[in-house]
Amino acid sequence: MSEGVGSPFTTRDVAIDEPREREVLIDVRASGLCHSDLHIVESGYGFPFPAVFGHEIAGVVEAVGSEVTTIKVGDHVVGCLIQFCGVCTTCLSGRTYECPNPQATVRGPDEPSRLSAEDGTAIASGWGLGGFASQALVHENQLAVVRDDLPFPQAAIIGCAVVTGAGSAINTAGVRVGDSVAVIGTGGVGLNVISGALLAGATHVIAIDIIDAKLEVAKSFGATEVINSSQVDAVEAVRELTGGGVDHAFEVIGLPATQEQAIALRRVGGHAYLIGIAKPDATVTLDTSLAALVSHASVQGVSMGSTNLKRDIPMYADLYMQGRLNLDGLISQEISLDDVDEAYVKLKKGEVIRSIITRF
């Protein structure tokens, strides 16, 4: 857990409440270290502290609340940070990732905290999940039931890296057979953009990064071309490879410079998708000249790959078990709870793709 913005991750015992109405108690078997949790700990973004983070989680259901209808004890489940009410018009249309009432999945201010310290101090569950722990108490809407033969480390990654990356290509962009794609950033999410684009039928999938070792990994995931943007002008290189730009450019880093780069990679009529989390005060410059307007190109922010988690997470599980989705290549190491800080240092240096907590 983290005590506050800028604080390191520490391990301590906390009390966990019994599941209420629509809550599910999970025995956590695997929890992935996503960069998003580190962003929150380093910059805050208005999140409450102290908090247990960890939103890529998989485990087995130990107990359910009295009103849970979609999950039972013994089910294998994957958590996802998408929070939705399930009853508004947006949810009923299938766009649960755009639900205007995400607070429906968290406890109210007049209710006891799901987690608490020995002295009774409330401890927040980051993203409503709190997966850097041996147990987690989660609303059933944030969980998807998956097949029992899916390994837990691979299952955990599906809940964020896969749905965000592959979902951005398949759901948000609607990549079609023959399309061209560029991906800026080849970490866990970027590699899954590559996987999703290939599943959708893209013929050119160009990976862009500044670390050669990561570009080699991108090749192993099926990237048809790779560009080290520290050595060449990536925009010019992509335009030369594609004859003017790509149909779909994805940015998964969250830096204004790379966001503007993604925008510049579009062909006439192309699209740029901003996935990476930028700092709260980050801005980009957008060309709104007549020439830009008549190019029919677009820029879109993407949240969680436009994912319907109850539908998509089991689908990705099936694709992995069929040998059609590479999850094994995402896992760099399995670690214990005490190794989180060290693993995040490696992630920031680009030395690992995903570290998975499997020892609690």
Domain co-membership, 94 together with 206: no
Domain co-membership, 335 together with 268: no
pLDDT at res. 280: 84
| Residue 264 counted as domain residue | yes
Domain co-membership, 274 together with 336: no
Domain boundary among 288, 303, 318: 303
| Residue 33 counted as domain residue | yes
Distances (CA, A) of 157 to 58, 63, 154: 8, 23, 5
Judge whether residue 108 has pLDDT over 90.
no
3-state helix, strand, coil in the chain (%, to 5): 35, 25, 40
* Pick from 103-112, 117-126, 271-280, 319-328: least confident: 103-112
pLDDT at res. 43: 86
pLDDT by residue (tens digit) across 212-224? Answer: 999 999 999 999 9
pLDDT at res. 34: 96
Assigned token pair, 203: 């013929």
Phi and psi torsions of 125, nearest 5°: -100, 110
pLDDT at res. 148: 98
Assigned token pair, 277: 């989390």
Residue with tokens 């691979």: 154
Assigned token pair, 247: 């149909």
Residue with tokens 């004890």: 73
pLDDT at res. 74: 99
Residue 26 belongs to a domain with what CATH number? 3.90.180.10
Domain co-membership, 332 together with 260: no
Judge whether residue 103 has pLDDT over 90.
no
How many structural domains comprise the chain? 2
Domain co-membership, 82 together with 26: yes
Q: What is the 3-state secondary structure (H, E, C) of 151-189?
A: CHHHHHHHHHHHHHHHHHHHHHCCCCCCCEEEEECCCHH
pLDDT at res. 327: 99
Residue 211 belongs to a domain with what CATH number? 3.40.50.720
| Residue 10 counted as domain residue | no
Q: Which of 146, 81, 54 is nearest to 305 (CA)?
A: 81
For residue 71, what are the domain limits? 15-146+327-359
| Residue 89 counted as domain residue | yes
* Pick from 41-55, 198-212, 229-243, 327-341: least confident: 41-55
Q: Are 22 and 85 in contact (CB under 8 A)?
A: no
Domain co-membership, 97 together with 170: no
Helix (H, G, I), strand (E, B) or coil at 221: coil
Domain boundary among 287, 303, 319: 303
Domain co-membership, 48 together with 140: yes
| Residue 243 counted as domain residue | yes
Q: Sign of torsion, CA 74 144 325 332?
A: negative
pLDDT at res. 116: 96
Domain co-membership, 212 together with 262: yes
Domain boundary among 270, 287, 303: 303
Q: Which of 42, 88, 9, 28 is nearest to 277 (CA)?
A: 42
Q: What DSSP state is assigned to residue 8?
A: P
CA distance 254 to 257: 9
Read off the pLDDT of each residue in 76-103 and give the average, rounded to a whole number. Answer: 95
CA distance 318 to 193: 18
CA distance 153 to 246: 34
Domain co-membership, 197 together with 131: no
Task: Provide DSSP, 261-304.
Answer: HHHHTEEEEEEEEE-SPPPTT-------SHHHHTTT-EEEE-SG
Q: Are 284 and 263 in contact (CB under 8 A)?
A: yes
Assigned token pair, 289: 């000249």
Residue with tokens 């998956």: 146
Mean per-residue pLDDT of the chain = 96
Judge whether residue 140 has pLDDT over 90.
yes
Domain co-membership, 296 together with 335: no
pLDDT at res. 179: 98
Read off the pLDDT of each residue in 273-279 and give the average, rounded to a whole number. Answer: 94
Judge whether residue 44 has pLDDT over 90.
no
pLDDT at res. 67: 97
Amino acid at 207: A
pLDDT band at 332 (very low <50, low <70, confident <90, very high): very high
**Residues of the chain above pLDDT 70, percent:** 100
Domain co-membership, 179 together with 292: yes
| Residue 320 counted as domain residue | no
Judge whether residue 45 has pLDDT over 90.
no
Q: State the pairing for strand pair 23-32/135-139.
A: antiparallel
Domain co-membership, 291 together with 225: yes
Phi and psi torsions of 84, nearest 5°: -150, 155
CA distance 73 to 324: 30
Residue with tokens 């999410």: 189
Amino acid at 23: E
| Residue 70 counted as domain residue | yes
| Residue 273 counted as domain residue | yes
pLDDT at res. 117: 94
Read off the pLDDT of each residue in 251-268 and give the average, rounded to a whole number. Answer: 97
